[in-house]
Amino acid sequence: MFERLSTLTTAHLADACIRLGVEVRCAPSGLRPLVSGMRVAGRARPVRHVGSVDVFLEAISENCAGDVLVVDNGGRLDESCVGDIVALELQQAGFAGVLIWGLHRDTADLEQIGLPLFSLGAIPAGPRRLDPRPADAMTAARIGSVVATTMDLVVADEDGAIFLPLDRMTDIVLLAEKVRDRERGQAARMREGESFRAQVGFRGYLARRAAEPDFSFRAHLRAVGGAVEE
């Protein structure tokens, strides 16, 4: 299932969650990739930053190959918390990437390193504080309104980041593949000259809505198997 994620976008996964009744947990839209085209997927490895990199080194010391370090720095915009040294350490330990609810620095070096990195942006200054370490510093990370744990899979791409429950991963991936294939098929038919309106019988929908004002386009799409929204 992890390998099959490489052909799925976060949008496909979000649509699958909606259809399955799984809570859609997305990071806020301000979280962006360091470099356009970056993508990462893996089990979340949460850490709470309190002013020192030791929490990152502790996480790296565990057997986390293929994981994504999910850093909770409270969404702070006055300090960076990850730079080139931490990124290199993560890369050499086999981490798939890093997602930061906060800022990074050493952008030029990070681009050369190439480890997938998502953050709220960059600032030159590092932390000048050392706060008390909470008991759950290594077990939970808050990204906006989402709380990530090691029971989550995180996928991030150009559209943002989504957190998925590992125990529903198979169901989500299988349905997301169906969503992807249907949308690709619809797009291919449009390129051949058949409009989306024709594919889904839009005139028929308008006629039925005229007779049944409460009949929604979403219900029509479900009925004809052409759903592109939920």
Residue 3's pLDDT band (boundaries 50, 70, 90)? confident
The pLDDT value given to residue 38: 97
Q: Annotated binding site for Mg(2+): which residue ranges?
A: 106
Range list of H helices, 115-168: none
Q: How far apart are the first and last CA of the chain?
A: 24
pLDDT digits (tens, 9 = 90+) for 173-210: 999 999 999 999 999 999 999 999 999 999 999 999 99
Please name which of 131, 126, 117 lies closest in space to residue 79, comparing C-alpha atoms: 126
Q: Annotated binding site: which residue ranges?
A: 83-86, 105-106
How far is it, in rounded angstroms, from Cα 72 to Cα 30?
14
Residues paired with residue 155 on neighbouring β-strands, in sequence order: 41, 162
Q: Annotated binding site for substrate: which residue ranges?
A: 83-86, 105
Cα dist. 119→20, 85, 93, 105, 161 in Å? 29, 16, 20, 10, 10
The pLDDT value given to residue 228: 56
How far is it, in rounded angstroms, from Cα 105 to Cα 103?
7
Per-domain residue ranges for the chain?
Answer: 3-171, 195-230
Residue 225's pLDDT band (boundaries 50, 70, 90)? confident
List all residues 6 or more positions away from 88 whose beta carbon is below 8 Å from its beta carbon: 113, 115
Rg, the chain, Cα only: 21
Which DSSP symbol is given to 122? B
- Assigned architecture for domain 3-171: 3-Layer(bba) Sandwich (3.50)
How many Cβ atoms sit within 10 Å of the Cβ of residue 134?
12
CA angle 71, 72, 75 (to 5 degrees): 120
Given a contact cutoff of 8 angstroms between Cβ atoms, the answer to whether 146 and 26 are in contact is yes
pLDDT for residue 170 is more than 70: yes
In the block, which residue shows the tokens 């798939």?
96
pLDDT digits (tens, 9 = 90+) for 16-64: 999 999 999 999 999 999 999 999 999 999 999 999 999 999 999 887 8
Residue 118's pLDDT band (boundaries 50, 70, 90)? very high
Residues paired with residue 104 on neighbouring β-strands, in sequence order: 82, 122
What tokens were used for 97? 């990437």
